[in-house]
Amino acid sequence: MPKEDLPLPHQIEAIIFASEEAVTLQTIRQVTGRDLDSGELHEIVEKLNAEYEETGRSFRIHRIAEGYRFLSCPEFADLLKKLLAPKIRRRLSRSVLEVLSVVAYNQPVTRGEIQQIRGVSPEYALEKLLNRGFIEVCGRADSPGKPLQYSTTKDFLDLFHLTSLKDLPKLREIKEIMQEQEDKPATSSQDTGPQLLF
């Protein structure tokens, strides 16, 4: 069947399903050849989600990182953390996650400022994060030597399923979560996925 004969909602569904990252409106326009506006796309996504809900599907389409992506429903989080934990551990070590957290909550931030906060050199972690595309150089600080400043990217938002930096948990909330984890009995040592630690 020619692409033109396929229902547009099905085309959009297939594009989002096949992508490994959030799909933007611009990408959907390019692939489908349709001049959609954001309102029309949102309406189609809402109808698709209504169908998923009616049929009891375990996923929905969510708007994150300025695009759309399939995500599982919250009630499956514990189950899927067990599946994804090994992959995420290979992706980012604890030390790299800590540097990523410092960048996320203090951006724009310099290498020296990161080292001052963590107490150790962030060289290795910064290189890893730059290579993975989770952070980027965003300018130079107005201080002696004009050191490079770092900030997070859209890939960072995508990794943590955030729509924008405004959705980052407050530091107070993170400290409360960490305190709760410390107070719990150590029933399992399994890492359950990426956590923003600071």
Closest CA to 180 of 166, 159, 195: 195
29 is a domain residue: yes
Q: What are the two backbone dihedrals, phi and then psi, of residue 64, each rounded to the nearest 5 degrees?
A: -140, 150
Q: Are residues 112 and 163 in the same domain?
A: yes
pTM beyond 0.95, yes or no: no
Q: Are residues 65 and 109 in the same domain?
A: no
Tokens, residue 84: 């994804």
Low-confidence ranges of the chain (pLDDT < 70): 1-4, 84-91, 171-198
Q: What is the pLDDT of residues 46-104, one digit of tens each?
A: 999 999 999 999 999 999 878 999 999 989 888 887 776 555 555 677 888 889 989 99
Q: Are residues 64 and 110 in the same domain?
A: no
Amino acid 18: pLDDT: 93
Q: Are residues 150 and 94 in the same domain?
A: yes
What domain range is 133 assigned to?
84-177
Amino acid 175: pLDDT: 58
Q: Are residues 66 and 23 in the same domain?
A: yes
Q: Are residues 34 and 114 in the same domain?
A: no
Amino acid 179: pLDDT: 60
Q: Are residues 147 and 94 in the same domain?
A: yes
Q: Which residues pair with 60 in a beta bridge?
A: 71
Number of domains in the chain: 2
Q: Are residues 106 and 65 in the same domain?
A: no
Q: Are residues 92 and 159 in the same domain?
A: yes
Amino acid 162: pLDDT: 82
Closest CA to 16 of 50, 48, 38: 48
Write the CATH number for 29: 1.10.10.10
